[in-house]
């Protein structure tokens, strides 16, 4: 039986050429491994930064201050969740918003979730009033209107009907109508490396007892596209190191069909 390996005679140049080719392939493979580690490290750092931000957001409270225009502004640090994470690990939070919105059950194509709780302290002093008296009793009418701007206003109307019962005046009936228009301005601002939700209103007496902003991201869609390395068969034209039929190493142009290996960072 003929051993084909024994019939292969390699010159020194051929051995050097093969060794050089193997070295280049191992080097390219190592470069691919380093590239993969860099991508994994970037993703790990991103998740770690997000978790730390959410920890600080959970410890944050509403901060209220006056801006340069004298308006009260309330702010709080924003949360950030991956869409997949909020669906699997924070179902209660997801359901709370889904039940209110009822328009987007899976929260797809939602970038931010914002909620606020507020208290309103208002008072009416020295309102306009008129008194009418007839044979059956006295009617007192109240009215008070106030407008800060087009979207922030208050109207109040009321009436009391007084009549004599057992020689004393008693309230026979009453009605009070109170309407409000409250406009809120919100902004999500990046400052000092953190995302802050700011909210304000010109309506006096409004206090924001709680505000919450959740920025939703999709890591799968936003992750950097990584080109795949691999082998391929194709037609090549180039200039490089060649080993001719006489096992002589030379440099020059080459053309032919062969098996090629391309690392990720060389693919385009």
pLDDT tens digit sequence for 155-189: 999 999 998 888 788 888 999 999 999 999 999 99
pTM equals 0.60
pLDDT in tens, 144-160: 999 988 999 999 999 99
Distance (Å, whole) CA 268 – CA 260: 15
Give me the residues of the chain with pLDDT under 50, please.
1-3, 5-7, 265, 268
Please name the helix (run of DSSP H) or strand (run of DSSP E) that holds residue 51, with its range, or none.
helix 12-59
Is 148 in contact with 204 (CB distance < 8 Å)? yes
CB atoms within 10 A of CB 187: 11
Query: Whose CA is closest to 139, among 175, 95, 94, 184?
Result: 175
How confident is the model at residue 108, as a pLDDT?
66
How confident is the model at residue 156, as a pLDDT?
93
225: left (phi over 0), alpha (psi -120 to 50) or beta: beta
Which residues face 200 on adjacent strands?
A: 73, 185
Query: Whose CA is closest to 188, among 198, 179, 173?
Result: 198
pLDDT in tens, 59-71: 999 999 888 888 8
Is 121 in contact with 205 (CB distance < 8 Å)? yes
User: Which backbone phi and psi does 81 adopt, to 5 degrees?
Assistant: -130, 145
For 233, half-sphere exposure in the C-beta direction (CA atoms, 13 angstrom radius) is: 0
């Amino acid at each position: 039986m003929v051993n084909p390996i024994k019939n292969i005679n390699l010159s020194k140049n051929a051995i050097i050429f093969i060794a050089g080719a193997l070295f280049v392939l191992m080097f390219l493979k190592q470069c691919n491994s380093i590239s993969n580690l860099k991508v994994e490290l970037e993703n790990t750092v991103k998740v770690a930064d997000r978790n730390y931000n959410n920890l600080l957001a959970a410890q944050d409270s509403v901060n209220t201050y006056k801006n340069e225009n004298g308006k009260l502004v309330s702010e709080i640090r924003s949360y950030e969740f991956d869409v997949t994470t909020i669906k699997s690990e924070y179902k209660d939070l997801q359901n709370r918003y889904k039940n209110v919105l009822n328009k987007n059950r899976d929260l797809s194509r939602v970038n931010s979730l914002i909620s606020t709780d507020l208290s309103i302290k208002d008072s009416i002093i020295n309102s306009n009033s008129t008194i009418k008296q007839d044979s059956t009793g006295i009617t007192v009418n109240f009215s008070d209107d106030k407008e800060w701007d087009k979207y922030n206003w208050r109207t109040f109307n009321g009436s009391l009907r007084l009549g004599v019962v057992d020689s004393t005046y008693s309230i026979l009936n009453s009605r009070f109508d109170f309407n409000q228009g409250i406009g809120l301005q919100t902004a999500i601002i990046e400052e000092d490396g953190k995302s802050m939700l700011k909210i304000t209103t010109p309506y006096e007496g409004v206090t924001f007892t709680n505000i919450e902003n959740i920025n939703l991201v999709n890591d799968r869609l936003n992750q950097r596209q990584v080109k795949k390395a691999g082998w391929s068969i194709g037609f090549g034209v180039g200039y490089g190191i060649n080993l001719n039929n006489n096992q002589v190493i030379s440099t020059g142009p080459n053309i032919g069909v062969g098996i090629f290996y391309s690392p990720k960072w060389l693919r385009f």
